[in-house]
Structure 1
Amino acid sequence: MLVNETVTTGRSQADIDQIRLSLQARYDELSAEYEEAVTQSQVLRLVEVGDTAGDDQADSGTKTAERDTAQSLLRTILDRRAQFEHALARLAEGSYGWCEGCGSAIPVERLEIFPAATSCVGCKQTRERRAA
């Protein structure tokens, strides 16, 4: 480990390794969840293709809603996985745990709750207020 890394991040190599393992484990869980959702989506499509005879508008609407829900789930999982991928990249470059907005340290409690956080609470609140 570089001496500067400990000074700038305040983390030991053991801490960094533990964070990396935790982030990687969650990334792997999300990857497996995504693969399962893709499989379920494909099964849903196969069932739809083979079972459209006699469908009325309500049946078609239900199938469309189920398809939309499945696609939304896939997008959500991919977004969450990308957040953890970004967190792993930030950890590798030494910027993990520092706010991308103001450069302040992100509180450990926030990182424990949301390990992929890229902003401190203040910057996150400001961004949410602007989006509203």
Structure 2
Amino acid sequence: MEVQSIPTDESLGAQLVRRFCRLAPSFSRPRAVQLDMLVGFGVHRVLVRVRDGRVDSAETPFGPLPSCDFSLRASADAWSRFWQPVPAAGWHDLFALSKRRELAIDGNLQPLMAHLQFIKDLLAVGRETQA
């Protein structure tokens, strides 16, 4: 798979992508999780490949339509609020973001729902650096 370099601009979305790509590869849980998830931080995207409960890669995909099981897309501001050490009510959970219409969930929902706690924990890795 051809991969673009991680964004070098100083926009909030680019900063969040760099932080997530730095932290996500160390995330693992003893679970049989196999999925490809596209995470959108505003205009910036990260394709996360999880194999055997471990993040195998978290990279900026090349091309307009990378293959994935599902995608989770929100504005950079929404992710920034979600990643606060103690997020405010309505910004603390994926479904709270979705209810606020800040997060779009697309694709095959079966792997998302089957491994929901794993995915929630993975997407919250950005909080650990601010605590």
TM-score class, shorter: under 0.3
User: Greater share of strand residues, 1 or 2?
Assistant: 2
| TM-score normalised to structure 2 length | 0.26
User: Greater share of helix residues, 1 or 2?
Assistant: 1
| TM-score normalised to structure 1 length | 0.25
Name the larger-Rg structure. 1
